Structure 1
Amino acid sequence: MDKRTFTNRIVVLDTETTGLNPQEGHRIIEIGCVEMVKRRLTGKRFHVYINPDRIIDDGAIAVHGITNQFLDDKPHFDQIVDDFIAFIKDAELVIHNAPFDVGFINKEFSLLKNKAGAVADYSEVFDTLAYARKKHPGQRNSLDALCKRYGIDNSHRDLHGALLDAEILADVFLLMTGGQSSLLDEGRLETAGSSENTEIKRILKDRPALKIIACNDEELSAHQQRLEAIEKAGGSCLWNQ
């Protein structure tokens, strides 16, 4: 599989909707995004609930638990669109089953009085579902299945939620596209790209010995699970060598 180079700024995005098809009048009711820069989460998020001006399908409510009553006092899409575009602009969007979410966002853009164009006018899109199907052909590649495959705890995910799913997808994306080894490689590339000669100097000073704190059994087990997840993702895990 070709090695993909990602932009410095990535926005992991998910939406919840009133139904399955925007061409049948269904609308977005929640958007959740988390930001990464150089494959590290920055803590910046965009999260909003949206009044869709229509009834939510019962089947959709069963999936995400968002009710019509809950959305009564929430803003409409035209009230949040400027902030949304500002958050995703010039980033690479990471989305699981991207045609679904992008189709809904583009439909919302088209309904605005001052039409906002399309997602492609602001961002590139990386579909983790399409990537997973190539990486794991013939296997289940839902977000839940990927969490299980890569050892990511999603036990707190009883219902779908845009922000929660975006946060989980960010973990899946990092492991599936290189895991920890990519972070280490990135640091090496940055060092190699420096035009200045660097010299390592040993500083000899009297200082107290470092305090060693032993981990408990639970912490050791969690650490081993993460190492195994990195190995499964195809990463080179130094601690297992």
Structure 2
Amino acid sequence: MLRRIIGAALATACAAGLTVASSSTPASAAGSCTLTAPSRVSIWKPYQAITLKASGACTTGGSAAWELVHPTYGLENIAYFDGTSTDTWDLYDWDDIGKQTWRPAGAYDSAYNSLTQNSPVSDIRYYGAAWISTSRSSSVVTLNGTSLVYSPDTGGFVRRPYAVGVFQYREIGSTVWRNLKQVTTNSNGVVTLRYTYAPTRDYRFATYSTSTVWDVGSATSRR
């Protein structure tokens, strides 16, 4: 909350500073300033320093700002470039997740001409993880899948119950993965599948994306 309050204050200050600057010289269309931000963001540890990049006339003696806005909770962060092309997005595991938009908050070139800005979207979700273990008894293959997810409460990964996923197989020598069976993990985040198949195959376990967790695939196990 404190970071958001500070961010809001900075945003106001930046906007005020840009307004004063623009009032000294008539504004005119002079190009654009573009923010490059990751579209898919995974929370997998307590803190991450994510590099944001700006390009255009705002980076050579000008300035630009974007506000990261959550559709429900409002202002989350701010990116500010004062004659620079990079800024650091401080992402914490307690930050709100979901699709958030970097809204333009003013951009100017070195002559204080107003610049157009883009509005990229960053989709923030928790990082999922998946494990697979396999065994064989004659022609019966046993596949064990485990689903995990990052938890901000523990600062690490925990078992993910009732995760929907799929066991996949790949024939030896092939690069194509095919679905074997869609499954759901139990209350402990584990699921087991047994089936009869004599030839050797590669197997993996994957879980699907949800509104809060990104999709992920396990390593490969040959059996």
TM-score bracket, normalised by the shorter chain, equals: under 0.3
More helix by share: 1
Larger Rg: 2
More strand by share: 2
Provide TM-score, normalisation by structure 2: 0.24
